[in-house]
Structure 1
């Protein structure tokens, strides 16, 4: 992923842009530049990871939701949607100016050496506009553009020539063309489906629990999964999938995930292994780490873009830091996977872990609209403490806490 822009969606009033493009800056430690940045062309290098900070309710989660909305709408707008079914977008509600305006979404990404810029504007009733551009070397050319009911299709996007009339008002043209096996559109839809993964703490986690379960059920990467779970000093020495045979009533086969820990005698010697049900007898942090483990393995192996809201939730700061280092290291991230996450963990604000352009902030203005900006926009002296300066409020994006003692009143 290169860039993502959103406007008039939830707390985002004006269009803001989140960028994974490496800024033309040099980190004080050359190793950090070598590890955290990778080139996709002579003119552009990207970041392997990025952290987004901000006060509670500042809009961090809304950025993740915006990317998730775009992904879901691209994948589902042409499938199983009724003719007049409303589009599930949410405009910025704190301004009269935005009430009749559409929500704006645009993403720039690369598939191999080819770059695309795709976006759309939608309201609750229809797609207001839509566009797709392709970049070859340094030249960008239009594949199609849409304004209301009018869709212009260029000769370079011949797969969409006869599908304009088949596109409903509440469906994306790109999604429709992919349904008819267009080569470019199918490649782009596959990128949204397979490469882009968004995880919100507020959503059902089942969509990424399955990856860990599937790895345990087969032999593929099973040892890697165990290594991640047992390697974080949780006291766990083993991880097994236990199959529960069907009973007399039904014919479904169920399974449990079991962790094993050493049981000791009175002298402190290892006696035997004790089994625990991971969902019923392990901590919330252990459960999250297990669920993340399969996702991390697949993302790093296949070069996916992993976007996680509240990555640090229920995890120790050293565990979160270790996960970030997996993505920043060329040894464990040879496929240039990207990790983008929101967090409150200021322990990660270190020049030993991040370049300045890898640290982002969200902050609401007096009208409740979210602004999004990077630490790279600040002039910071070498060896400055990102963490101390952030806590001190030098970069903004921190909560203003009033006198809470007044809540109790006076005796």
Structure 2
């Protein structure tokens, strides 16, 4: 689980901002809060981030995406670190961008942090948070490693650090060097932290196209219950020769896909995904198909790209929901614009289904950004589960938790207070300026005619 995320000097976040999922003393919906007895600690299973356009919601998402990329993928030797600093003052270019994660892995809390410029890693630190003290595992600064007393005797770790480039995280290099010691931290970022952008399509495609998948029927039942008009999803085999890709790529697929391997490609234009695998020496290509009822109850196949954006978004989110309600899962889903192309009632039903399955042993989390103010509802969410991003006049984004407002009662319609501007995070619209510009344009058009 993600306990805290702190960032600074990233895109519109010039100053330090922290998103926390540590529960306040609020009692509402307390029965669904995960409890970490070792510390002790109550965490939030869900977090909603609201705010006006260009207020910084997506920039927060992009910060998490950047951090995951830098840790999991790393950088090439001669490449710059693709950080995006705050560009609205001259000083930020020369200041590092900083990221701090407090994460829960098998009921142990770790803090992993790093600060980078476009060229080098300035500092990197891994700490185990114990119930009574903090135990520094390693601390990289001044281009030198500083290990705890136990690890300081490990010559191979020192050797691995010497092979860590200035533009590379030590955590990433240890995994590349097959050092298992810090791999649980790396694996959390690679496998547990899932980021879904508004335009991400068919990330769970394999589950839908494999009719032998145990979840296949469950996903289809959920899809039917959400009034999409789809009876079921299935697959259709197509010949490799008929796929609209270059002959070079076809040849490469034929030579490089090994027995049992599966790859996903997209047909350009409509972004229709295709799965290609090799079974018993033969290449097999499949594409996802939706089926609708004909007036005579006959099933009629449709290409997925022919479905509405909302239906495609639902297809994206159903496997996410199944993961979230899986008692054995421990994933953190970060979804930017969860309500994109969805009706409010559909979005709310997805959230309610997840929350109804949350309990003290839950180790999944859902963090999302949204413009849908009908989700700003204390019957659905606790106050400490709701946050607002606000862009200041100097361009800096601040992150504010609604639990910081003492005057919000449990029975209060917080949407009204939010829309009245009492909490910030709403667009600063100047009607006079808009009208003035329009009148000038209209007058100019009349003169030209």
- TM-score for the superposition, normalised by structure 2: 0.83
Q: Which residue of 2 aligns with 1:281?
A: 306
Q: Determine if contact 1:199/1:307 at 8 Å carries over to the other structure.
A: yes
- State the distance in 1 between where 2:117 and 2:389 align: 25
| 1:202-281 paired onto structure 2 within 5 Å | 204-205=200-201, 208-213=203-208, 216-247=210-241, 252-264=283-295, 271-281=296-306
Q: Which residue of 1 aligns with 2:277?
A: none
- State the distance in 1 between where 2:229 and 2:361 align: 30
Q: Which residue of 1 aligns with 2:419?
A: 391
| 1:75-114 paired onto structure 2 within 5 Å | 75-77=72-74, 81-114=75-108
- State the distance in 1 between where 2:351 and 2:322 align: 13
Q: Determine if contact 1:307/1:339 at 8 Å carries over to the other structure.
A: yes
Q: Which residue of 1 aligns with 2:403?
A: 376
Q: Determine if contact 2:103/2:110 at 8 Å carries over to the other structure.
A: yes
Q: Determine if contact 1:7/1:14 at 8 Å carries over to the other structure.
A: yes
Confirm or deny that 1:326 pairs with 2:353.
Answer: yes
- State the distance in 1 between where 2:226 and 2:351 align: 14
Confirm or deny that 1:308 pairs with 2:302.
Answer: no
Q: 1:356 aligns with which of 383, 408, 415?
A: 383
Q: Structure 1 residues 243 and 104 mapped into 2: Cα distance closer, same or farther (>3 Å)?
A: same
Q: Secondary structure at the match of 1:230?
A: helix
Confirm or deny that 1:200 pairs with 2:197.
Answer: yes
Q: Which residue of 1 aligns with 2:13?
A: 12
Q: Determine if contact 1:327/1:337 at 8 Å carries over to the other structure.
A: no
- State the distance in 1 between where 2:301 and 2:417 align: 44
4+ residue runs over 6 A deviation: 248-251, 331-334
Q: Structure 1 residues 211 and 291 mapped into 2: Cα distance closer, same or farther (>3 Å)?
A: farther
> What is the Cα deviation at residue 117 of structure 1?
0.2
Q: Structure 1 residues 304 and 165 mapped into 2: Cα distance closer, same or farther (>3 Å)?
A: same
Q: Determine if contact 2:103/2:109 at 8 Å carries over to the other structure.
A: yes
Confirm or deny that 1:155 pairs with 2:149.
Answer: yes
Q: Secondary structure at the match of 2:146?
A: strand
Q: Which residue of 1 aligns with 2:272?
A: none
- State the distance in 1 between where 2:373 and 2:300 align: 36
How many aligned residue pairs are there?
394
- State the distance in 2 between where 1:289 and 1:370 align: 30
> What is the Cα deviation at residue 227 of structure 1?
2.0
> What is the Cα deviation at residue 391 of structure 1?
1.3
RMSD of the TM alignment (CA)? 2.2
Q: 2:111 aligns with which of 105, 110, 117?
A: 117
| 1:26-175 paired onto structure 2 within 5 Å | 26-27=27-28, 32-35=29-32, 37-41=33-37, 42-77=39-74, 81-157=75-151, 158=154, 160-175=157-172
Q: Determine if contact 1:153/1:161 at 8 Å carries over to the other structure.
A: no
Q: Structure 1 residues 333 and 254 mapped into 2: Cα distance closer, same or farther (>3 Å)?
A: farther
Q: Secondary structure at the match of 2:294?
A: strand
Q: 1:336 aligns with which of 357, 360, 363?
A: 363
Q: Which stretch has the larger CA shift, 231-240 or 91-100?
A: 231-240
Q: Determine if contact 2:325/2:357 at 8 Å carries over to the other structure.
A: no
Query: Residues 37-59 of structure 1: CA distance to partner in whole angstroms, max 9, x if unpaired?
Result: 11123421111111100010000
- State the distance in 2 between where 1:145 and 1:193 align: 22
> What is the Cα deviation at residue 273 of structure 1?
2.5
- State the distance in 2 between where 1:11 and 1:51 align: 19
Q: Which stretch has the larger CA shift, 325-334 or 127-136?
A: 325-334
Q: Secondary structure at the match of 1:47?
A: coil
Confirm or deny that 1:407 pairs with 2:437.
Answer: yes
- State the distance in 2 between where 1:98 and 1:400 align: 26
Q: Structure 1 residues 309 and 383 mapped into 2: Cα distance closer, same or farther (>3 Å)?
A: same
Q: Secondary structure at the match of 2:12?
A: coil
Query: Residues 321-358 of structure 1: CA distance to partner in whole angstroms, max 9, x if unpaired?
Result: 11212321226997431110100000101111000000
- TM-score for the superposition, normalised by structure 1: 0.90
Confirm or deny that 1:2 pairs with 2:40.
Answer: no
Q: What residue ranges of structure 1 are gaps of 5+ in the alignment?
A: 265-270
- State the distance in 2 between where 1:70 and 1:315 align: 29
